Amino acid sequence: MHRRSLGGVLAFLLAAAPASRAQDLSPVEKALARSVEARLGEEMAALEKVVNIDSGTFNAEGVREVGRFFEKELQALGFKTRWVPMPEVMHRAGHLVAERVSPKPSGKRVLLIGHLDTVFEGQGHRYTNDGAVIRGAGVMDMKGGDVAILFALKALESAGLLKGATVRVFLTGDEENPGVPTSESRRDIVEAGRQSDVALSFEPDAGKNTIVLGRRGLSTWSLDVAGAQGHSAGVLRPSRGAGAIYEASRILDGFRGAFSTGNVTVNPGLLLGGTDVAYDATKSAGTSAGKYNVVARAVTVKGDLRALDEPEREAAKARMREIAAASLPKTSAKLEFDDIVPGWPITEGNRSVLKTIETVSRALGQPALTEADPVVRGFGDVNFVGGLLGAADGLGVKGDGLHSPEESLDPKSVGPVTLRAAVLIGRLLHTTN
């Protein structure tokens, strides 16, 4: 920890969030502010520790090691913890669940969501701090958010606000690449959602003071096209037909025309075509062979479909099937879908959660918040519970370079984000309406 960067964080916290003097905060909430400030050095040290643990999605032991750090810390706060294992065939580490459950909760039952895995394995992306930005694998997405959850709960425990409350922490081990079927890998988080009233997810605030109230879901699709192989002299003639590559091109261009605007996107991510095609699903790779003077016999295309809700997704599938069915001469196409992540549409319940967050932000003297466009973000674990209860996402730290080797964290955001989380969770845990 650099003294210069820590001092900068403390100065920003005191200037941007003068909670100890804010008129809209209760005496207990002012104590929360002092608690967060007092632990900020410890929080930054914890962030450095977990960032320096390699925990790419398929590094099961690394993910578990990060999980053990949070498990020990949460147990010290009175949480009962358990590890949810995944089937061996998934090659995933599993999930950490921590709970404090009251038979008669004093307010809303709150579910806090984070994830332990990172996009990159971590080697070569160690924690570095030059005073202006902090870099490292997962420093923003989302170990910064996980640490904010932990230290918000530390402040709440020290203020006595966890007594008589029901709060669950769910830290998944494979958010960046969920194990399939998700009906199994996300079964426990769905159950946690059913046992809660509000869900708060701490993915990073990549939109600059925005709160995410909706995310599109994910389906994958596979297109297999067959054509009549033969001498290229007959291509596009009645004797030979269009061939598989022309037909696949027609279908893909139809998708482009149908989905170039609106909420739905359809992306072809891999294409193999020729006289012989082989695809390896375990490697998401394949081979193809052909000759310039031979009409292509086969094409395989793999892609994804993203939509905000179920009716939108089903309408998109129907349109794609319609496009694929209008075959060129002597060709045929088979289009199959696999629904991976449900859509999470914006609801009035989500907007009600945002109003509470806005009230807390104003009380803390923090910047005004806006509702994020659900189309600009990918899916998250909150998608699996968002249809069950009011929820909000993007409550984590600020930074840049999401999903890239240049991922970075703005250290000035850590204190304010943790403080906002502590006050927000505290109010929800003791509010019944």
**What is the CATH number for 335?**
3.30.70.360
State if pTM tops 0.75: yes
Q: Which residues constitute the domain of residue 168?
A: 3-215+344-429
Q: Are residues 187 and 263 in the same domain?
A: no
Whether residues 48 and 160 share a domain: the answer is: yes
Q: Is the dihedral of CA 176, 179, 182, 183 positive or negative?
A: negative
For residues 336 and 357, membership in a common domain is answered with no
284 and 395 belong to one structural domain:
no
CA dist 315 and 264 (Å) reads 10
User: Quick one: which H or E segment has residue 33?
Assistant: helix 27-38
Q: What was the pLDDT predicted at 207?
A: 67
Are 360 and 318 contained in the same domain? no
Per-residue pLDDT in tens (0 to 9) along the chain, 433 residues: 443 344 444 444 444 444 444 568 999 999 999 999 999 999 999 999 999 999 999 999 999 999 999 999 999 999 999 999 999 999 999 999 999 999 999 999 999 999 999 998 777 789 999 989 999 999 999 999 999 999 999 999 999 999 999 999 999 999 999 999 999 999 999 999 999 999 999 999 876 789 999 999 999 999 999 999 999 999 999 999 999 999 999 999 999 999 999 999 999 999 999 999 999 998 899 999 999 999 999 999 999 999 999 999 999 999 999 999 999 999 999 999 999 999 999 999 999 999 999 999 999 999 999 999 999 888 999 999 999 999 999 999 999 988 888 899 999 999 999 999 999 999 999 987 7
| Surface-to-core class of residue 145, CB atoms within 10 Å of its CB (0-12 exposed, 13-18 middle, 19+ buried) | buried
> pLDDT at position 197, please?
98
Q: H or E segment at 75? A: helix 60-76
The residue among 317, 341, 365 that closes a domain is: 341
CATH code of the domain in which 406 resides: 3.40.630.10
Q: What percentage of the chain's residues is helix, strand, coil (to nearest 5)?
A: 40, 25, 35
Taking the C-alpha atoms of residue 68 and residue 63, their distance in angstroms, rounded to an integer, is 9
H, E, C per residue of 397-433: CCEECCCCCCCEECHHHHHHHHHHHHHHHHHHHCCCC
Report the pLDDT value the prediction gives residue 145, as an integer from 0 to 100: 98
- Considering the domain architecture, whether residues 235 and 208 belong to the same structural domain is answered as no
Sole residue written with tokens 């005004």: 368
Q: Which residues of 170-182 are buried (b: 16+ CB within 10 A; e: fewer)?
A: bbbbbbbebbeeb
109 in the same domain as 66: yes
Asked if residue 201 and residue 278 are part of one domain, the reply reads no
pLDDT attached to residue 11: 45
What residues have CB less than 8 Å from 191, skipping those under 6 apart?
none
CA separation, residue 429 to residues 107, 387, 423, 425 (Å) = 5, 21, 10, 6
The C-alpha atoms of residue 366 and residue 395 are separated, in whole angstroms, by 13
Predicted pLDDT at 20: 41
Separation CA 117–CA 87 (nearest Å) = 17
Q: Which residues 6+ apart lie within 8 Å of 323 measured at CB?
A: 251, 254, 255, 258
Question: Is residue 208 located within the same domain as residue 256?
Answer: no
Strands (E), 275-397: 276-280, 285-289, 294-295, 298-307, 331-341, 370-371, 390-392
Picking from 324, 341, 358, the residue at the C-terminal end of a domain is 341
Same domain, 94 and 193: yes
Q: What total number of domains does the chain contain? A: 2
d(Cα 109, Cα 195) in Å, to the nearest integer? 8
State the burial class of residue 353 (Cβ atoms within 10 Å of its Cβ: 0-12, 13-18, 19+).
buried
Among 341, 359, 376, the domain-final residue is 341
User: Is the same domain home to 221 and 207?
Assistant: no
Considering the domain architecture, whether residues 332 and 356 belong to the same structural domain is answered as no
Provide the angle, in degrees to the nearest 10, between the axes of the packed helices 60-76 and 143-158.
Answer: 10
CA dihedral over 397, 401, 403, 407, signed as positive or negative: negative
Sign, CA dihedral 154-424-385-103, equals positive
Rounded Cα–Cα distance for residues 346 and 372 (Å):
10
